[in-house]
Structure 1
Amino acid sequence: MSTLSIQNVIDTVLSATNVPTLSRTADTFKTGDPNTPLTSIVTTFLATAEVIREAAAQGANLIVTHEPTFYSAEDTDDLAWLDGDPTYEAKRRMIEEHGIVIWRFHDYWHMMKPDGILTGVAQQLGWTVDPPAIALDEALHAMTAGKSGDTRRAGAAVGVATIPEISLLDLARHLKEQLGATAVRMVGPDDLPVRRVGLTLGALPGKMTIAALQRDDVDIVLTGETREWETCEFLRDAEYFGCPKGMLVVGHATSEEAGMAYLADWLRGLFPDVQVTHLASGDPFRTL
Structure 2
Amino acid sequence: MNLSAQHNTSLTIGELIDYLTSRGPAVSPTVDKLLYGEPDTTITSVAVTFLATQSVIKQAAELGANLIISHEHPYYNHNGMQHEQWKEDAVAQNKHLSIMESGIAIFRYHDHCHREQIDLITDGLVRQLEWEPYMEQRLPAASIAVLPSMSAADIAEHIKHTLRIPYVRLIGDPSQACSRVAITVGYRGGGNVVLPLLREQRVQLVIAGEGPEWEAPEYVRDAREQGLDYSMIMLGHAESEAPGMRYIAQLLAEQFPHIAVHTLIDKPLYAIL
TM over 0.5: yes
Aligned to 2:158: 174
| More displaced 10-residue stretch of structure 1: 36-45 or 181-190 | 181-190
Q: In structure 2, which of residues 238, 242, 246 is the aligned counterpart of residue 253 of structure 1?
A: 238
Separation in structure 1 between the aligned mates of residue 155 and residue 162 of structure 2, nearest angstrom = 10
* Contact 1:32–1:96 under 8 Å retained in 2: no
* Contact 1:6–1:62 under 8 Å retained in 2: yes
* Contact 2:20–2:112 under 8 Å retained in 1: no
2:136 paired with 1:130: yes
**1:281 to partner: Cα distance:** 2.1
Aligned to 1:149: none
Aligned to 2:192: 207
TM-score by length of 1: 0.86
2:273 paired with 1:267: no
Aligned to 2:216: 231
1:208-246 CA-to-partner distances (Å, cap 9, x unmatched) read: 121212134411111111211100111011111111211
**1:3 to partner: Cα distance:** 2.6
Aligned to 1:198: 182
Separation in structure 2 between the aligned mates of residue 213 and residue 111 of structure 1, nearest angstrom = 23
2:214 paired with 1:221: no
* Contact 1:253–1:282 under 8 Å retained in 2: no
Aligned to 1:65: 70
Code of the aligned partner of 1:62: L
Q: In structure 2, which of residues 10, 15, 21 is the aligned counterpart of residue 8 of structure 1?
A: 15
Aligned to 1:51: 56
5 Å-filtered alignment, 1:102-113, equals 102-113=106-117
Structure 1 residues 55 and 168, CA gap change in structure 2 (3 angstroms): same
State percent identity of aligned pairs. 35
* Contact 2:14–2:40 under 8 Å retained in 1: yes
Q: In structure 1, which of residues 7, 18, 22 is the aligned counterpart of residue 24 of structure 2?
A: 18
1:178-221 CA-to-partner distances (Å, cap 9, x unmatched) read: 22223211111222211121112111132112121213441111
**1:91 to partner: Cα distance:** 0.9
In structure 2, the residue corresponding to 1:45 is in which secondary structure? strand
Separation in structure 1 between the aligned mates of residue 109 and residue 18 of structure 2, nearest angstrom = 12
**1:158 to partner: Cα distance:** 2.1
2:166 paired with 1:160: no
* Contact 1:187–1:247 under 8 Å retained in 2: yes
5 Å-filtered alignment, 1:76-95, equals 78-95=82-99
Code of the aligned partner of 1:61: N
Separation in structure 2 between the aligned mates of residue 213 and residue 163 of structure 1, nearest angstrom = 16
Separation in structure 2 between the aligned mates of residue 36 and residue 216 of structure 1, nearest angstrom = 47
Code of the aligned partner of 2:219: F
Aligned to 2:225: 240
Separation in structure 2 between the aligned mates of residue 274 and residue 119 of structure 1, nearest angstrom = 24
Code of the aligned partner of 2:34: F
List runs of 5+ in structure 2 lacking aligned partners.
1-8
Q: Structure 1 runs of 4+ off > 6 angstroms?
A: none
* Contact 1:3–1:37 under 8 Å retained in 2: yes
